[in-house]
Amino acid sequence: MFFQVLFQGLTSSNTWQVTLEFAALLLLPALGGVISERSGVVNIAMEGMMLTGAFASVMVTLAANNFGLSSAICVLFGLLAAIVAGGLMALLHAYFSIQFKTDQIVSGVAINIIALGLTSYLLFEIVPVGVPSLPDRLRLPVPPLGPLANIPFLGTVLFQQNVIFYITLLLLFGVQFLLFRTNIGLRIRAVGEHPQAADTAGVNVRLLRYLCVVSSGLLSGLGGAYLALGVAGLFNPNMTNGRGFIALAAVIFGKYTPLGAAGACLIFGLGIALSYALQGLGSTANVINLLNTLPYIFTLVALVGLVGRTTPPAADGIPYDPASD
Partner 1 sequence: MAQRGERGAQARILAWLRNLGDALGRPVLAVALAIIAGAIVILITWPDKALDPFSNIFSAYGALLTGSFGTPISISNTLVRVSPLIFATLSVAIAFRAGLFNIGAAGQMAVGAMAADIVGLTYIHWPGWLLVPAMVIASIVAGALWGGIVGFLKAWRGAHEVVTTIMLNWIAFWGTDYLIDGPPFTAPLGVNQTNPLPPQATIPLVADVWNKTLGSFLPKLDTFSYTVDVSILVALLCIVIYWFITSRTTFGYEVRVIGQNPKAAKYAGIPIKRNILFVMLIAGAFAGLGGALRLMGQFSYQLTATAASTDPTGFDAIAASLLGRTSPLGILFSSLLFGGLRSGSTNMQVVAHVDPNLVLILEGLIIYFMAADFIPVFRRLLPPWLRPRRRPALVVPPDAPIASAVNGDADEEVQYSAIAERQKEI
With beta carbons less than 8 A apart as the criterion, state whether 26 and 252 touch.
no
In the complex, the smallest distance separating the C-beta of residue 26 from partner 1, rounded to whole angstroms, is 14
As a residue count, the chain comes to: 325
Chain centre distance of CA 167: 13
Query: Which residue in the set 241, 279, 280, 282 belongs to the binding site for partner 1 (CB under 8 A)?
Result: 241
Query: Which residue in the set 72, 113, 148, 151 belongs to the binding site for partner 1 (CB under 8 A)?
Result: 113
Q: Stretches 72-80, 140-148, 205-213, 239-247: which one binds partner 1 (CB under 8 A)? A: 239-247
Query: Which residue in the set 111, 208, 225, 228 belongs to the binding site for partner 1 (CB under 8 A)?
Result: 111
Nearer residue to partner 1 within complex by CB, 43 or 160: 43
d(CA 16, CA 27): 16
Give the list of residues 6+ apart from residue 154 with CB closer than 8 angstroms, or none: none
Q: Stretches 58-66, 75-83, 101-109, 171-179: which one binds partner 1 (CB under 8 A)? A: 101-109
Buried/exposed 54-66: b ≥16 CB within 10 Å, e otherwise: bbbbbbbbbebbe
Does 101 contact partner 1 by CB under 8 A?
Answer: yes
Chain centre distance of CA 86: 11
Q: Stretches 5-13, 174-182, 211-219, 285-293: which one binds partner 1 (CB under 8 A)? A: 285-293
- 3-state SS assignment for residue 139: coil
Region class of 311: left (phi > 0), else alpha (psi between -120 and 50), else beta = beta
Does 197 contact partner 1 by CB under 8 A?
Answer: no
d(CA 90, CA 83): 10
Query: Which residue in the set 63, 103, 203, 232 belongs to the binding site for partner 1 (CB under 8 A)?
Result: 103
Does 235 contact partner 1 by CB under 8 A?
Answer: no
Region class of 178: left (phi > 0), else alpha (psi between -120 and 50), else beta = alpha
Does 317 contact partner 1 by CB under 8 A?
Answer: yes
Nearer residue to partner 1 within complex by CB, 180 or 296: 296
In the complex, the smallest distance separating the C-beta of residue 74 from partner 1, rounded to whole angstroms, is 23
Does 325 contact partner 1 by CB under 8 A?
Answer: no
| Site size for partner 1 (CB under 8 A) | 61
In the complex, the smallest distance separating the C-beta of residue 117 from partner 1, rounded to whole angstroms, is 3
Does 213 contact partner 1 by CB under 8 A?
Answer: no
Helices assigned H by DSSP within the chain: 2-11, 13-38, 46-66, 71-94, 104-126, 154-159, 163-181, 183-193, 195-200, 205-225, 243-253, 258-277, 287-292, 294-304
Query: Which residue in the set 80, 91, 105, 178 belongs to the binding site for partner 1 (CB under 8 A)?
Result: 105
In the complex, the smallest distance separating the C-beta of residue 147 from partner 1, rounded to whole angstroms, is 41
Q: Which of residues 37-76 bind partner 1 (CB under 8 A)?
A: 37, 42, 44
CA distances from 230 to 107, 123, 234, 235 (A): 29, 19, 9, 11
Query: Which residue in the set 106, 148, 184, 307 belongs to the binding site for partner 1 (CB under 8 A)?
Result: 106
Query: Which residue in the set 63, 80, 118, 259 belongs to the binding site for partner 1 (CB under 8 A)?
Result: 118
Nearer residue to partner 1 within complex by CB, 44 or 79: 44
The dihedrals phi and psi of 234, each to the nearest 5 degrees, come to: -160, 175
d(CA 132, CA 303): 39
Residue ranges binding partner 1 (CB under 8 A):
37, 42, 44, 96, 100-107, 109-114, 116-118, 120-122, 124-125, 237-238, 241-242, 245-246, 248-249, 252, 286-287, 289-290, 292-293, 296-297, 299-300, 303-305, 310-319, 321, 323-324
